[in-house]
Structure 1
């Protein structure tokens, strides 16, 4: 976890946040990311964060008025910097590439998003834990993620429907079904069953075949 957290923090700092944060703030955020990811926001105390960061608890409150401010300082940059421009910089090449078949597109998406999830697992875990309970995070999630990708994905699905590769149903419904299937694999692989010796290449192909052909046995 520590290595993945450091990768996330390094990504955040490269995006210019280092100019805005003191050394103590960086240590506080490092400690908070690790403890929030391990125990969850509600079960974490500011005294635990301070102890792990090697600072006085009062130092946290000089930088962040409340524990929730600290949470938002971690997740908000994730939404606006990583899920936003940073994520799209990495993901845009997948969305903009030309694919002969929808299977090829799915394969590129799964590989790209799995790599991202593995690198940024601690912060994504916080995001998944806390979004249902914090309206501010829900608003950021909706504002930052969906407008960036949903329209483009709907156009891609419509393109392959026109080619006769996908069933005719509303593209938004197809998008929901495809996203939940692919995200389900990534979540299980990255968070729920990390200890399993996954063969990513095989599992990605199984996921693609399930999306394309469902549960119907081959004729």
Structure 2
């Protein structure tokens, strides 16, 4: 019954993301337990298959307690997604990326630092990120909000960076969007290999060494030029 409310528009959903955003230290102990249990069950079973009774049992609270803190099961999903979205998309939290992109570092060092920076955030928040990727397939509003407010911000920033490097002659004169896709695809491919496809192997990867090789491949290709 609690999950039968009407679907929210993208604007309404984003408004709720912002309004419900809480810092971790502002959450009650029960809210933390509910959200941790929800991450675990949503990730394992999917949003629709995980019931509020299972979440309550995993969190060690009564089912009624969930609805005192979250009106619907979808509210739990929104409350989980909001901090991760803003961690990536907020101008304040992209400050480190902007700082790197505006630095005088050589291109190879700059790319290495950017990759290391993003990988650290992904590793720290992988359960929530996996949940977002999973549920984007089934919630159109969630997909629209993520694409517009997360990927859109990142894409504009990356394209501006690539364009500036093309103009300075550091990157060949390819379409900026094509170069941006190549840069992002390399990192996305590494993340999926490490966390999704071969997680056992991923645990043993030397991220610093792998990033160094990836940047070398991006800048110099794989053809042996000797």
TM-score range, shorter chain: 0.7 to 0.9
Name the counterpart of 1:55: 61
RMSD of aligned alpha carbons: 2.4
In the alignment, structure 2 segments of 5+ residues that lack a partner are 1-20
2:103 counterpart (94, 97, 100) = 97
Residue 147 of structure 1: how far off its partner (Å): 4.3
Deviations 1:136-175 (A, max 9, x none): 2222212322343333322221222223332222101210
Uncovered stretches (5+) of structure 1, i.e. residues with no partner: 1-13
Return the match for 1:212 from 202, 209, 219: 219
Deviation of 1:75 (Å): 0.8
- The equivalent of 1:189 in structure 2 is 194
Which residue of the partner structure matches residue 8 of structure 2? none
CA contact (8 A) 1:83 1:144 kept: no
SS of 1:218 mapped into structure 2: coil
Deviation sequence 1:171-190 (CA, Å, 0-9, x none)? 01210121111221123223
Q: Which of 93, 110, 114 lines up with 2:115 in the alignment?
A: 110
Which residue is equivalent to 1:203? 210
Equivalent residues of 1:121, 1:191 under 8 A apart: no
Cα distance in 1 for partners of 2:190, 2:168 equals: 27
Structure (1 or 2) with the greater helix fraction:
1
Alignment length (residue pairs): 203
Secondary structure at 1:48 match in 2 = helix
TM-score, reference length from structure 1: 0.81
Q: 22, 33, 36: which one pairs with 1:27?
A: 33
* CA shift in 2, pair 1:191/1:92, >3 Å: farther
Q: TM-score, normalised by structure 2?
A: 0.78
Q: From 144, 150, 153, give the equivalent of 2:149.
A: 144
Judged with a 3 Å threshold, the aligned counterparts in structure 2 of structure 1 residues 123 and 144 are, in CA distance, closer, same or farther, namely same
- Report the CA distance between 1:104 and its aligned residue: 1.9
Equivalent pair of 1:35/1:49 in contact (CA under 8 Å):
yes
CA distance in 1, matches of 2:85, 2:159: 22
